[in-house]
Amino acid sequence: MKDEGKIELNYSKTMVDEVDNGHSIQVDDTGSAVIDGRNFDLQQFHFHAKSEHTVDGNHYPIEVHFVNQAQDGRLAVVAVFFKEGKENAAFQDVLNNIKKGKKADVSNPIEVTQMIPTNKTYYHYIGSLTTPPLSENVEWYVMKNPVEVSKAQIETFNKYYDSNNRKVQKLNGRSVLEHAE
Protein backbone atom coordinates (compact mmCIF):
# COMPACT_ATOMS: atom_id res chain seq x y z
CA MET A 1 0.00 0.00 0.00
CA LYS A 2 1.10 3.59 -0.59
CA ASP A 3 1.23 6.29 2.09
CA GLU A 4 0.72 9.91 1.06
CA GLY A 5 2.38 11.61 4.08
CA LYS A 6 5.37 13.84 3.49
CA ILE A 7 8.08 13.91 6.15
CA GLU A 8 10.23 16.94 6.91
CA LEU A 9 13.00 16.61 9.50
CA ASN A 10 14.43 19.79 10.99
CA TYR A 11 16.92 18.41 13.46
CA SER A 12 19.37 20.84 14.96
CA LYS A 13 23.10 20.73 15.51
CA THR A 14 22.59 21.42 19.22
CA MET A 15 22.95 18.42 21.49
CA VAL A 16 21.64 18.58 25.02
CA ASP A 17 23.25 15.40 26.40
CA GLU A 18 24.85 12.13 25.34
CA VAL A 19 24.82 9.17 27.67
CA ASP A 20 25.44 5.45 27.68
CA ASN A 21 22.18 4.57 29.43
CA GLY A 22 22.93 0.87 29.84
CA HIS A 23 20.75 -0.08 26.86
CA SER A 24 22.21 2.10 24.11
CA ILE A 25 24.03 5.29 23.35
CA GLN A 26 21.35 7.98 23.66
CA VAL A 27 21.61 11.58 22.53
CA ASP A 28 19.08 14.07 23.88
CA ASP A 29 18.60 16.69 21.21
CA THR A 30 16.36 19.45 19.95
CA GLY A 31 14.70 19.88 16.61
CA SER A 32 11.37 19.26 14.99
CA ALA A 33 9.63 17.11 12.45
CA VAL A 34 6.58 17.75 10.33
CA ILE A 35 4.95 14.47 9.36
CA ASP A 36 1.86 14.51 7.17
CA GLY A 37 1.27 18.12 8.25
CA ARG A 38 1.56 17.38 11.99
CA ASN A 39 4.25 18.92 14.23
CA PHE A 40 6.56 16.87 16.44
CA ASP A 41 9.52 17.78 18.67
CA LEU A 42 12.64 15.62 18.63
CA GLN A 43 13.23 14.21 22.13
CA GLN A 44 16.29 12.02 21.60
CA PHE A 45 17.93 9.53 19.31
CA HIS A 46 19.61 6.24 20.11
CA PHE A 47 21.15 3.26 18.32
CA HIS A 48 20.58 -0.48 18.04
CA ALA A 49 22.83 -3.23 16.69
CA LYS A 50 21.74 -5.10 14.70
CA SER A 51 18.74 -3.38 13.15
CA GLU A 52 15.33 -3.89 14.73
CA HIS A 53 13.63 -3.83 11.34
CA THR A 54 14.44 -5.95 8.33
CA VAL A 55 14.04 -5.50 4.60
CA ASP A 56 13.30 -8.74 2.75
CA GLY A 57 14.34 -10.59 5.92
CA ASN A 58 17.79 -8.95 6.06
CA HIS A 59 19.16 -6.94 8.99
CA TYR A 60 21.47 -3.94 8.78
CA PRO A 61 24.40 -3.70 11.22
CA ILE A 62 23.00 -0.63 13.03
CA GLU A 63 19.71 1.26 13.19
CA VAL A 64 19.20 4.71 14.71
CA HIS A 65 15.84 5.78 16.17
CA PHE A 66 14.89 9.46 16.24
CA VAL A 67 12.12 9.68 18.87
CA ASN A 68 9.69 12.56 18.27
CA GLN A 69 6.71 13.64 20.37
CA ALA A 70 3.66 15.73 19.48
CA GLN A 71 2.03 18.19 21.89
CA ASP A 72 -0.71 15.61 22.55
CA GLY A 73 1.93 13.06 23.63
CA ARG A 74 1.75 10.94 20.47
CA LEU A 75 5.12 9.42 19.50
CA ALA A 76 6.61 9.15 16.02
CA VAL A 77 9.90 7.32 15.60
CA VAL A 78 11.99 7.83 12.48
CA ALA A 79 14.29 4.83 11.98
CA VAL A 80 17.37 4.90 9.75
CA PHE A 81 19.47 1.90 8.76
CA PHE A 82 23.26 2.14 8.75
CA LYS A 83 25.16 0.02 6.23
CA GLU A 84 28.88 -0.56 5.84
CA GLY A 85 30.55 1.95 3.54
CA LYS A 86 32.41 5.20 4.03
CA GLU A 87 32.92 6.87 7.40
CA ASN A 88 30.08 9.03 8.68
CA ALA A 89 31.36 12.18 10.43
CA ALA A 90 28.24 12.68 12.57
CA PHE A 91 28.23 9.09 13.82
CA GLN A 92 31.95 9.40 14.53
CA ASP A 93 31.21 12.45 16.70
CA VAL A 94 28.71 10.37 18.68
CA LEU A 95 31.27 7.58 19.11
CA ASN A 96 33.99 10.05 20.14
CA ASN A 97 31.81 11.54 22.88
CA ILE A 98 30.74 8.39 24.68
CA LYS A 99 32.31 6.67 27.63
CA LYS A 100 30.54 3.48 28.70
CA GLY A 101 28.13 4.00 31.56
CA LYS A 102 28.70 7.74 31.70
CA LYS A 103 27.23 11.00 30.55
CA ALA A 104 29.42 12.70 27.95
CA ASP A 105 30.61 16.27 28.12
CA VAL A 106 29.34 17.39 24.73
CA SER A 107 30.98 20.56 23.52
CA ASN A 108 30.77 20.21 19.74
CA PRO A 109 27.40 19.99 17.99
CA ILE A 110 26.71 17.06 15.69
CA GLU A 111 25.44 17.52 12.14
CA VAL A 112 22.50 15.15 12.69
CA THR A 113 21.37 15.41 9.06
CA GLN A 114 24.42 13.32 8.08
CA MET A 115 22.68 10.38 9.73
CA ILE A 116 19.52 10.78 7.64
CA PRO A 117 19.24 9.76 3.97
CA THR A 118 18.68 12.49 1.39
CA ASN A 119 15.83 10.52 -0.18
CA LYS A 120 13.02 10.37 2.40
CA THR A 121 11.21 7.33 0.97
CA TYR A 122 9.96 5.37 3.98
CA TYR A 123 7.87 2.49 5.26
CA HIS A 124 5.14 3.38 7.77
CA TYR A 125 3.20 1.36 10.30
CA ILE A 126 1.70 1.70 13.78
CA GLY A 127 3.57 -0.35 16.38
CA SER A 128 5.18 0.00 19.79
CA LEU A 129 8.38 1.29 21.32
CA THR A 130 11.11 -1.34 21.14
CA THR A 131 12.46 -0.55 24.61
CA PRO A 132 10.60 -0.36 27.95
CA PRO A 133 7.89 0.71 28.54
CA LEU A 134 7.08 -0.78 25.07
CA SER A 135 4.25 1.75 24.64
CA GLU A 136 1.74 0.97 21.89
CA ASN A 137 0.32 3.22 19.14
CA VAL A 138 3.70 4.55 18.11
CA GLU A 139 3.95 5.83 14.55
CA TRP A 140 6.97 4.29 12.84
CA TYR A 141 8.66 5.81 9.80
CA VAL A 142 11.44 3.49 8.64
CA MET A 143 13.62 5.09 5.98
CA LYS A 144 14.05 2.80 2.99
CA ASN A 145 17.50 4.11 2.04
CA PRO A 146 20.36 3.40 4.45
CA VAL A 147 23.15 5.76 5.45
CA GLU A 148 26.77 4.65 5.21
CA VAL A 149 29.09 4.22 8.19
CA SER A 150 32.52 2.62 8.10
CA LYS A 151 33.41 -0.91 9.15
CA ALA A 152 35.56 0.59 11.92
CA GLN A 153 32.58 2.61 13.20
CA ILE A 154 30.39 -0.50 13.25
CA GLU A 155 33.09 -2.36 15.16
CA THR A 156 33.48 0.51 17.64
CA PHE A 157 29.74 0.64 18.33
CA ASN A 158 29.65 -3.15 18.70
CA LYS A 159 32.25 -2.88 21.48
CA TYR A 160 29.53 -1.12 23.46
CA TYR A 161 26.44 -2.85 22.11
CA ASP A 162 26.45 -5.69 19.61
CA SER A 163 23.00 -7.10 20.33
CA ASN A 164 20.80 -4.44 21.92
CA ASN A 165 18.07 -4.93 19.34
CA ARG A 166 14.58 -6.21 19.99
CA LYS A 167 13.69 -9.35 18.09
CA VAL A 168 11.71 -8.61 14.94
CA GLN A 169 8.01 -8.78 15.77
CA LYS A 170 5.27 -10.38 13.68
CA LEU A 171 3.01 -7.98 11.81
CA ASN A 172 -0.08 -9.31 13.61
CA GLY A 173 -2.39 -7.88 10.96
CA ARG A 174 -0.70 -4.48 10.77
CA SER A 175 -0.39 -2.84 7.38
CA VAL A 176 2.98 -1.50 6.25
CA LEU A 177 2.63 1.44 3.88
CA GLU A 178 5.31 2.84 1.61
CA HIS A 179 5.72 6.55 0.91
CA ALA A 180 7.94 7.27 -2.10
CA GLU A 181 9.60 10.65 -2.31
Residues marked as catalytic:
23
C-alpha distances in angstroms, 90 versus 39, 75, 108, 170? 25, 24, 11, 33
Contact (Cβ atoms closer than 8 angstroms) between residue 68 and residue 81? no
Measured between alpha carbons, how far is 143 from 72 in angstroms, rounded to an integer? 24
Number of C-beta neighbours around residue 41 at 10 A: 13
Cα-based torsion angle of the residue sequence 10, 118, 138, 4 in order, rounded to the nearest 10 degrees = 100
CA–centroid distance for 2 within its chain:
22
